[in-house]
Amino acid sequence: MRQLACTLALALACGPLMAQETSYGPRLEGFDYPYPVKTFAFTSQRQPLEMAYLDVAPTGKPNGHTAVLLHGRTSAPPPGSRPLPR
């Protein structure tokens, strides 16, 4: 009986924490990006589409190289990785 009471108390205490889960829209509305989000509108297969991207300016001396980092269904980064400093 004591174990049941402890389990019930724990479940009731954790309920509000689980209810605060963040929900984002289909375009990740509400997500706090570290840089301004820009969009590129185009047509593909007769469908008007829009791609969102972050354009981050270099902070050091230019070296003539460009880095393009893609993310999507087939190019997800490893969990917890941070390719760009904030």
Please check whether residue 85 lies inside any domain of the structure. yes
Phi and psi at residue 77, in whole multiples of 5°? -75, 165
Instruction: Provide the residue-wise pLDDT of the chain in tens; the chain has 86 residues.
Output: 777 776 767 677 766 666 567 788 888 888 888 899 999 999 999 999 998 889 988 888 989 988 887 776 655 666 777 766 66
Please check whether residue 66 lies inside any domain of the structure. yes
Please check whether residue 61 lies inside any domain of the structure. yes
Contacts 24+ apart (CB under 8 A), 33-40: 34/84, 34/86, 35/84
- Give the residue numbers spanning the domain of 37: 24-86
Q: Which of 20, 81, 27, 24 is nearest to 51 (CA)?
A: 27
Please check whether residue 63 lies inside any domain of the structure. yes
Please check whether residue 6 lies inside any domain of the structure. no
Number of domains comprising the chain: 1
What pTM does this model have? Answer: 0.54
Please check whether residue 82 lies inside any domain of the structure. yes
